[in-house]
Structure 1
Amino acid sequence: MFPRVTYRLRDAVLQREERYRFEQGLGDYCARLSAPALPLHAPWCFEGHRGTTRVRLVLQWCQEPGSRLVSWVNLHRAHAGTHLEGLLDGLRLAPHDATESRPHLRIPLYIPSELLNGLTVLFEVSIPQPIWDGSLKGDLANEECEFDVAELVQAWLRQRFEAEPVVTERILEHALGRYITRG
């Protein structure tokens, strides 16, 4: 999904440029970012829209701790904002839906950090009229985006968890194990 993505990195000081091309798009890029962290499954890709909000999402849970998150809004790199709050809401709620039939893997709602630990996420949002906080366009402020993204992510992950029960068990067991280890 999202084929043929090319990134060009240019160092103006050293007058050097490198190009990275991913034939399979964001899925390849996600796999590359996740490789050192020992992925638990192949990258999951999703594209959808709700209202005027379009979302492209690729994610992959890994064994090693740490989160890798890259997000864009209308092709601008965004480090915070309502789109990320919506993503976190969807990521936090979907696994609880998946544990309805798996009470031995029930994950308390108050430990979303364990569900994010070891997760690689590439996330793009397109909206017609972005509202930015701050002068650097780094924080999206559109409130409707938060709700649209949360619903899309939760619904998509719920379907994915149902379609791949073995992977779901692996992800949930890993998060639960880290929670128990942490005490």
Structure 2
Amino acid sequence: MLFTSKKRAAVVGSAILSMAVFGSFSQAHAAVTKGSHTFKVSAPSYKKTDRNGTFNAQINMGQYVGKKAPMAWSFTTSPAVRAIAASKMQCNAGHMQLKYHDKHPDLKVNYVWHSTVPGNAHNKKYTLYGNCTFRVKVGGKTGTANLGFTFNYSLFDGISKSAALSNGAEDEATAYSSDLQVDYDQ
């Protein structure tokens, strides 16, 4: 969803965005992600666009057959998010299974945030997560936005001993999720 909080937000899509969000501020975490993308030689990339932005990821599977591989990824905010931003973003990314962290304290809201997660082994399930905070102004109201995403993935090169990895259409559709929460100033 574009805007969420403990109480659901109302979103009016027009040239001037207006919304009402009430409730307390909490970390955006996009925890609804249940599916997973499997990178393969025949499918080395992933792309998903939603109301909050566009997420891309890729692994050169042919170059890393039987070896740990780096996963390059990027995230760009959507025009709707850029329209309400009133400051630069502070962004952090991390990983649930690998020692990986990426931190940027001062990114322009239209910056293509990119990084690489090293050391991804084949036939293991992974979760990458990211979070950006920034000031917003919507309909004369100011506040702090918290934009988070999660991406679940695995690698299969077709040669390494295979584990049972699901890769159905439903898994692909829910491999990535993002969430934007706004806490308005009083």
TM-score > 0.5, shorter chain as reference: no
Structure with bigger RCO (C-alpha 8 Å, 6+ apart): 2
Higher normalized strand content (fraction of residues): 2
Higher helix share: 1
Query: What TM-score, normalized by structure 2, do the two folds share?
Result: 0.26
